[in-house]
Amino acid sequence: MADYKGMLYGAMVGDALGVPVEFENRGSFNVESMIGYGTCNQPPGTWSDDSSLTLCLAENINAHGNLDSLMQKFVRYLNDGYLTPFGAAFGVGNSTTQSIRRYEEGTPAEQCGGTSEYNNGNGALMRIAPLIKCLPEEMAFKQVADIVIAYTRITHGHPRALVASIIYVEILRNIAAGHSFKMSVENTEKELSINLKQDAILFDEYKNFFEKIFQPEFYQLPQSYIRSSGYVVDTLEAVLWCIGNSDNFKDAVLKAVNLGDDTDTVGSITGSIAGLLYGVQAVPDTWIENLVSKEKFEPIISKFIIT
């Protein structure tokens, strides 16, 4: 059975490890444990928008909700601090904020995400992992892609962001099915190279921006070639490079956070893959214990893993 607990706790500790050093330059710090304050002036173990929006989706899935009920949770998150550690949202990306405001103004959920080049941040990638629970192994690729696209478009509507989500979710689905990371990447490449051809726009984005991550030599690149910005292509490359250049949860996530720049999101997404891959038992107990406001997320995770 897929280790959803590892995936969700992995994402949260990756987020919390990265929060204090977000936007710091690579080489100017070295995170080895759960520290606090720094960039966002939050205590150790504080989780940010990455975890909050992921929890919104997990809770929505628990309740068999739809896109509208999810966007309503996002509205509560932004306006009221719903599913935040201390009752206030912080660090929310512009594309996500703008899409939530559009929803408040009456735009249909699936049309809320911006579609310009500037809407290719990692704000959909960082929250979409729980969706794999709704996408069983036997589901056809076309159906999987359509669902992933719908859940991405609510905040990020550019084709590049859509393809990034499809790649990430397909890798997670393969890991959940018991495949190694290497095999999961290879299987994802096969699926995309065959099935994305049916959509010329998505296929062009895949060929022009994402083929690199499916080449064996990509994982042999030195760290200096890896960018860890909030641009969705950079984020996905950084995450996969960290997983491919480590053999345990702790090393993968610390490698991700210590890349600098968008540390919380790169850490969180790396944590979700590594947590699913290695299992919750591989996530250091002290990191989980250090997460703040457990009463807000533990019931959601507990229900998610048993229903």
Q: How far apart are CA 135 and CA 73, in angstroms?
A: 22
Residue 116: count other Cβ atoms within 10 Å of its Cβ: 9
Is 262 one of the annotated binding-site residues? yes
Q: Which residues pair with 156 in a beta bridge?
A: 114
Q: Which fold has domain 4-306?
A: ADP-ribosylglycohydrolase fold (1.10.4080)
At residue 111, the pLDDT reads 98
Is 265 one of the annotated binding-site residues? yes
Is 152 one of the annotated binding-site residues? no
Does residue 103 carry a pLDDT above 90? Answer: yes
Q: Please tell me whether residue 237 adopts helix, strand or coil conformation.
A: helix
List pLDDT tens digits, range 40-84.
Answer: 889 999 999 999 999 999 999 999 999 999 999 999 999 999 999
pTM for this prediction: 0.97
DSSP secondary structure letters along 22-41 = TTPPTTS----S---BGGGT
Contact indicator for 2, 135 with CB cutoff of 8 Å: no
Token pair, residue 44, equals: 């150790």
Is 15 one of the annotated binding-site residues? no
Contact indicator for 68, 109 with CB cutoff of 8 Å: yes
Is 3 one of the annotated binding-site residues? no
Q: Calculate what percentage of the chain has a pLDDT beyond 70.
A: 100
Is 54 one of the annotated binding-site residues? no
Token pair, residue 287, equals: 């990191």
